[in-house]
């Protein structure tokens, strides 16, 4: 139903004819469809608060005039956005005119009394009006109008309607980690493009970490000359090319200006006191260890912290001064997460300082640190943002708490009277895979589906109305340890970012998962026109092939159980007329099966395709096997220096072990395995001692096969040859599994002589 059930009906707009008149009252509205139903058939993301259908349509085509108030730069900006979108979507050029109103065109106008991001969009056969009080509202009206246009060529009709819209939350963000992997300025701008298209309005930019310092600081050039390069970790014993990248202040200004035009605030994050290893590598005197570490090429929680000497604060304040000069955002993020205090506890200088301050608890020392930095920021008119570790007694009330260790931090912050942003792991962590499909790019093995994100509810019933006002909104984080390329960053983000946008914008009473799915097909079509890579995991066909009496049995599903799966059995592309899959069925051996998901006549997924032969039946990639445990389960690529496909190994780095279920071992079996190596480049503290490397009997390690469980003696063991130079996978042939009687789970593990490197399974084939 519509927002607040709208006793405001008298205000509802009747949008027919040449002018916009107010509806006389509920009675005359007849059976007009309203938000909940018509909204889903209009491909708007996020869904507006209120949509009322009208009669007729307005055609937007070559020469349609967009008029803006004279001298209103923000209105002109909204108009330019619209012109640009229509050009990209339809290849049609609109004209912008200042001042006088065109008789039949698009009018962008200021009105008073609407909220800070609210707008009204009226489409009638006589013209279109976008009205708002703020520049952001005008911009969002233009965004909505552009989304109403289908992708295609030439003029397009927009059915009459009235939209009244405003966001539920003021902070609708994404965090981009450019420290672990670096993205080009062009990529960041394209990200701003699609963020704006979804009415996302905060880009939290993670610019410094243990693995890289990525922002030019003129006063301290070593931060980038040293801190922006690391040597990539590799399982191979050769010196790889350094991995480098940073943004000049010039580039940042350009990006910030680009964002501002799209009503996106860019909030920099400069991590302190932890995640500081790259900075300490550049200027060891800033560190608490007295040593000069390299920029890290490991992932995980590192020990290097800034020290607490006055000259260090001077440097940090100088850095923040340069940061504030290029980032006008009212908020400056200073990290604060995962600062393990070992170095502070071990440092005589830090301890002396703590005593001088009268602080005995190392956690309280971080509070003091945060307070010092926060005070500095406030003196420059900015507010400190930090991860939820900053929430300690004594935290200043103007600090903003970003809740990542679940949502408790947000609740506690709101109760304490601090503003807060919801960014909880694991739901809003886009380094998690979005499906269990073998085609997912590297990341964490946990699946956070589009639906998981969509169903995230920011509203905390435990908070009072007043406390709830402190919850500014939500944000998803794209951590890039395992996301090496820009295209993958984007695929991890889209379409899950669309779900974040809708959760942040659209009130819970209007959100509907099935409605969102309906709008997704047309949304994907627009992504394609815009050239925005996205993941179709929600619709992609998941094909499971098993042995049947005389042939193979195939089960086809998709994650959302949405649309129709259509298939062909002759190697041709499935089309809207291809047979529809309804239940598991058998195909003769040798069939070349292809399948895809359709919504109506539109194909909304890529084509899944398999030849149903003996090897398809026997082979499973590591992504298709079960992992024996869920410690730190990752999907990883080995570092290769050069082009070409790399294998993707699914493994739990705490216990690399896989299970191939339900194998017929009545007459024994033959096993072939493809294996590779990965560096163990994870800083996990004392947890590393829990990792069992096994009892390796040969110099490189052994591949071990067990039946029925993973702990008993192996039924087969094979010594591992050293990895051949230049190869990322090596195939082990002819491992014999003894006859066992019946079907069994087969457990696959390695014993290795040391922690680093790890052996990993790429795929395995078990055939009778």
Indicate which residues carry an active-site annotation: 209, 275, 338
List C-alpha distances in Å: 249 to 224, 329, 433, 620.
12, 15, 33, 48
Binding mask 655-694 for ligand TNX (x = CB under 6 A): ----------------------------------------
User: What residues pair up with 13 in beta bridges, in sequence order?
Assistant: 22
Provide the Cα torsion 502, 504, 506, 508; round to 10°: 110
Q: Which helix (H) or strand (E) holds 230?
A: strand 229-230
Query: 215 vs 520, which CB is nearer to ligand TNX?
Result: 215
Q: Is 404 in the site for ligand TNX (CB under 6 A)?
A: yes
Total residues at interface with ligand TNX (CB under 6 A):
8
User: What residues pair up with 602 in beta bridges, in sequence order?
Assistant: 599
Query: Which H, E and C letters describe 543-562, residue by residue?
Result: EEEEEECCEEEEEEEECCCC
- Least separation in angstroms between residue 187's CB and ligand TNX is 19
Q: What value, to the nearest 5°, has the Cα angle with vertex 685 and ends 679 and 690? A: 80
Q: How many CB atoms within 10 Å of residue 116?
A: 13
- Least separation in angstroms between residue 482's CB and ligand TNX is 9
Could you say which residues in the range 234-273 bind ligand TNX, by CB under 6 A? none
Query: 83 vs 448, which CB is nearer to ligand TNX?
Result: 448
- Least separation in angstroms between residue 306's CB and ligand TNX is 16
List C-alpha distances in Å: 619 to 437, 591, 616, 705.
15, 17, 5, 16
Could you say which residues in the range 405-434 bind ligand TNX, by CB under 6 A? 429, 431
- For residue 503, give both structure tokens: 């959760």
Radius of gyration of the chain (CA): 29
Name every residue whose Cβ is closer than 8 Å to that of residue 317 and which is 6 or more positions away in sequence.
376
- Least separation in angstroms between residue 333's CB and ligand TNX is 10
- For residue 733, give both structure tokens: 């042939």
Could you say which residues in the range 201-240 bind ligand TNX, by CB under 6 A? none
Query: 164 vs 181, which CB is nearer to ligand TNX?
Result: 181
- Least separation in angstroms between residue 273's CB and ligand TNX is 13
Query: 216 vs 431, which CB is nearer to ligand TNX?
Result: 431
Query: 108 vs 202, which CB is nearer to ligand TNX?
Result: 202
C-alpha span between 25 and 8 (Å, rounded): 10
- Least separation in angstroms between residue 557's CB and ligand TNX is 28
- Least separation in angstroms between residue 489's CB and ligand TNX is 13
Query: 404 vs 680, which CB is nearer to ligand TNX?
Result: 404
Residue that has been written with the tokens 């952001």 in this structure: 136
For the chain, count helices (H), then strands (E): 18, 43
C-alpha span between 732 and 764 (Å, rounded): 9
Could you say which residues in the range 287-346 bind ligand TNX, by CB under 6 A? 337-338
Could you say which residues in the range 428-467 bind ligand TNX, by CB under 6 A? 429, 431
Beta-sheet pairing, 564-568 with 592-599: antiparallel
- For residue 533, give both structure tokens: 């890579």
For ligand TNX, the binding residues (CB under 6 A) are: 337-338, 387, 404, 429, 431, 479, 481
């Amino acid at each position: 139903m519509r927002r607040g059930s709208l006793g405001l009906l008298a205000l509802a707009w009747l949008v027919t004819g040449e002018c916009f008149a107010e509806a006389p009252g509920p009675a005359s509205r007849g059976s007009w469809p309203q938000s909940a139903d018509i909204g889903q058939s209009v491909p708007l993301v996020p869904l507006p608060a209120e949509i009322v259908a009208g009669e007729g349509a307005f055609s937007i085509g070559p020469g349609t005039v967009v008029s803006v108030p004279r001298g209103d730069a923000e209105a002109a900006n909204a108009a330019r956005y619209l012109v640009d979108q229509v050009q990209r979507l339809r290849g049609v050029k609109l004209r912008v005119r200042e001042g006088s109103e065109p008789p039949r065109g698009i009018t962008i106008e200021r009105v008073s009394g609407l909220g800070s991001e609210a707008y009204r969009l009226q489409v009638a056969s006589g013209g279109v009006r976008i009205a708002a009080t703020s520049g952001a509202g005008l911009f969002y009206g233009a965004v909505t109008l552009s989304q109403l246009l289908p992708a295609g060529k030439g003029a397009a009709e927009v059915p009459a309607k009235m939209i009244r819209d405003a966001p539920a939350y003021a902070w609708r963000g994404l965090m981009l980690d450019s420290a672990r992997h670096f993205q080009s300025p062009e990529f960041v701008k394209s990200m701003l493009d699609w963020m704006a298209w979804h009415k996302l309005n905060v880009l939290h930019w993670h610019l410094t970490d243990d693995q890289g310092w990525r922002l030019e600081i003129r006063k301290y050039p070593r931060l980038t000359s040293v801190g922006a390069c690391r040597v990539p970790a590799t399982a191979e014993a050769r010196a790889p090319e350094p991995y480098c990248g940073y943004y000049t202040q010039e580039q940042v200004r350009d990006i910030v200006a680009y964002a501002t035009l799209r009503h996106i605030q860019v909030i920099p994050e400069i991590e302190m006191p932890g995640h500081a290893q790259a900075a300490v590598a550049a200027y060891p005197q800033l560190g608490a260890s007295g040593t000069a570490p390299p920029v890290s090429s490991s992932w995980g929680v590192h020990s290097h912290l800034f020290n607490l000497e006055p000259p260090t604060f001077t440097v940090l304040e100088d850095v923040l001064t340069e940061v504030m000069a290029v980032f006008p955002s009212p908020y400056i993020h200073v990290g604060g997460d995962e600062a393990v205090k070992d170095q502070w506890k071990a440092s005589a200088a830090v301890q002396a300082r703590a005593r001088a301050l009268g602080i005995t608890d190392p956690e309280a020392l971080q509070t003091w640190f945060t307070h010092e930095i926060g005070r500095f920021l406030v003196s420059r008119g900015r507010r400190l943002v930090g991860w939820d570790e900053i929430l300690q007694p004594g935290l200043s009330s103007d600090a903003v708490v970003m809740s990542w260790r679940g949502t408790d931090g947000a609740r506690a912050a709101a109760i304490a009277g601090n503003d807060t942003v919801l960014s909880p792991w694991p739901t809003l962590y886009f380094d998690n895979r979005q499906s269990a499909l073998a085609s997912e790019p590297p990341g964490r093995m946990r699946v956070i589906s589009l639906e998981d994100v969509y169903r995230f509810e920011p509203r905390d019933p435990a908070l009072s109305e007043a406390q709830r006002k402190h919850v500014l909104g939500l944000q998803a984080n794209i951590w890039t340890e395992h996301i090496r390329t820009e295209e993958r960053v984007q695929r991890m983000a889209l379409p899950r970012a669309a779900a974040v946008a809708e959760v942040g914008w659209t009130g819970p009473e209007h959100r509907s998962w099935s409605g969102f799915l309906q709008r997704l097909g047309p949304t994907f079509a627009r992504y394609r026109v815009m050239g925005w890579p996205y993941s179709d995991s929600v619709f992609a066909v998941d094909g499971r092939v098993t042995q049947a009496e005389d042939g193979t049995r195939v089960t086809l599903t998709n994650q959302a159980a949405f649309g129709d799966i259509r298939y062909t059995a002759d190697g041709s592309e499935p089309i809207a007329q291809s047979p529809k899959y309804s239940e598991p069925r058998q195909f003769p051996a040798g069939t070349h099966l292809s399948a895809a998901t359709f919504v109506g006549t539109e194909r909304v997924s890529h084509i899944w395709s398999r030849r149903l032969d003996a090897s398809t039946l026997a082979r499973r990639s590591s992504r298709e096997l079960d992992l024996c445990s869920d410690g730190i389960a990752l999907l990883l690529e080995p570092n290769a220096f050069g082009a070409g496909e790399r294998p993707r190994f699914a493994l739990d780095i705490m216990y690399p072990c896989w299970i191939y279920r339900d194998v017929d071992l009545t007459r024994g079996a033959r096993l072939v395995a493809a294996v590779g190596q990965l560096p163990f480049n994870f800083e996990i503290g004392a947890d590393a001692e829990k990792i069992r490397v096994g009892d390796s009997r040969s110099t490189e390690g052994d591949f071990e096969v067990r039946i029925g469980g993973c702990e008993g003696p192996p039924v087969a063991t094979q010594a591992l040859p050293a990895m051949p130079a230049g190869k990322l996978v090596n195939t082990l042939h002819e491992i014999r599994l003894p006859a066992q009687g019946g079907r069994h789970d087969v457990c696959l593990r390695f014993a290795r002589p040391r922690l680093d490197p790890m052996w990993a399974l790429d795929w395995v084939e078990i055939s009778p």
